[in-house]
Chain A
Amino acid sequence: MKSAPGLRSYAILYLVFLYGPILILPLFAFNNATVVSFPLSGFTTKWFSEMMADQALWRALRTSLQISLSTAVIATALGVMAARAAVRYRWPGKPGVMGLILLPLVLPEIIIAMSMLIVLIWLGAPQMWFTVILGHVLITLPFSVTIMTAAFQSIDVSFEEAALDLGETPISSFRLITLPLVMPGIISSFLISFTISIDEYIIANFLGGNDTALSVYIYGQFRFPAKVPMVLALGTCLVAMSILLLTIAEYFRRRGVARVGGKDSGGFL
Chain B
Amino acid sequence: MTFSADKPTMIEFKDVHKYYGDYHALRGINGTIKAGEFFSLLGPSGCGKTTLLRTIAGFEDISSGVVMIDGKSMADVPANVRPTNMVFQSYAIFPHMSVEENVGFGLRRDPRSKAEKAKAVDEALEMVGLKGYGKRAAHALSGGQRQRVALARALILKPKVLLLDEPLSALDKKMREHMQVELIKLQRQVGITFILVTHDQEEALVMSDRIAVMFEGEIAQLADPETLYRRPNSKKVADFIGTMNFIPCTILSESGDKVEVDAKGLGKVALDIHQAPPAKGETPVVGLRPETLTLLYPGQSANDRETDGVIDEVIYFGDMTYYDVYLGGTDVEVRLSMRNVPGRPVLDVGTKVRVAWSPEALVLFR
**Interface size class of chain A, counting residues whose CB lies under 8 Å from the partner chain:** 20 to 34
Report whether A167 and B88 are in contact in the complex, using a CB–CB cutoff of 8 Å.
no
Q: Chain B residues near A170: list those with CB within 8 A.
A: 80
Residues A180 and B96 in contact in the complex (CB < 8 Å), given A167-B109, A168-B108? yes
* Residues of B86-132 whose CB lies within 8 A of A: 86, 88-90, 92, 94-96, 105-106, 108-109
Q: Which of A161, A165, A261 has a CB less than 8 Å from the CB of B95?
A: A261
Report whether B106 and A166 are in contact in the complex, using a CB–CB cutoff of 8 Å.
yes
Residues A166 and B137 in contact in the complex (CB < 8 Å), given A177-B94, A260-B95? no
Q: Which residue of B lies closest to A162 (CB)?
A: B92
Q: Which residue of B lies closest to A160 (CB)?
A: B92
Q: What's the Cα separation between A259 and B139 when bound, in Å?
A: 9
Q: Chain B residues near A116: list those with CB within 8 A.
A: none
| A45 at the binding interface (Cβ < 8 Å) | no
Q: Which applies to chain A's interface (DSSP): helix, strand, loop or mixed?
A: helix
Q: What's the Cα separation between A172 and B246 when bound, in Å?
A: 56
Q: How many residue pairs, one in A and one in B, have C-beta atoms under 8 Å apart?
A: 65
Report whether B139 and A260 are in contact in the complex, using a CB–CB cutoff of 8 Å.
yes
Q: Chain B residues near A262: list those with CB within 8 A.
A: 95, 139
Q: Chain A residues near B157: list those with CB within 8 A.
A: 166-167
What 0/1 readout, one digit per residue, does chain A (234-269) give for beta carbons within 8 Å of chain B? 000000000000000000000000011110000000
What 0/1 readout, one digit per residue, does chain B (137-151) give for beta carbons within 8 Å of chain A? 111100000000000
| B297 at the binding interface (Cβ < 8 Å) | no
Q: What's the Cα separation between A259 and B97 when bound, in Å?
A: 9
Q: What's the Cα separation between A156 and B96 when bound, in Å?
A: 13
Q: Which residue of A lies closest to B91 (CB)?
A: A158
| A164 at the binding interface (Cβ < 8 Å) | yes
| A219 at the binding interface (Cβ < 8 Å) | no
Report whether B108 and A156 are in contact in the complex, using a CB–CB cutoff of 8 Å.
no
Report whether B140 and A162 are in contact in the complex, using a CB–CB cutoff of 8 Å.
no
Report whether A163 and B90 are in contact in the complex, using a CB–CB cutoff of 8 Å.
no
Residue of B59, B105, B139, B153 ringed by the most chain A CB atoms within 10 A:
B105
Q: Which of A161, A169, A177, A181 has a CB less than 8 Å from the CB of B88?
A: A161
| A159 at the binding interface (Cβ < 8 Å) | yes
Q: Which of B92, B108, B140 has a CB less than 8 Å from the CB of A161?
A: B92
Q: What's the Cα separation between A166 and B108 when bound, in Å?
A: 9
| B1 at the binding interface (Cβ < 8 Å) | no
Report whether A162 and B139 are in contact in the complex, using a CB–CB cutoff of 8 Å.
no
Q: What's the Cα separation between A165 and B95 when bound, in Å?
A: 17
Given pairs A156-B90, A166-B106, A167-B157, 9 additional interface contacts (CB within 8 A): A161-B86, A162-B94, A164-B78, A164-B80, A166-B105, A166-B154, A169-B80, A260-B96, A260-B139
A-B contact pairs, 9 of them (CB 8 A): A159-B94, A165-B57, A165-B79, A166-B154, A167-B106, A167-B108, A259-B96, A261-B140, A262-B139
- The 6 lowest CB-CB distance pairs between A and B, nearest first, are A261-B139, A158-B92, A166-B106, A260-B95, A162-B92, A158-B88
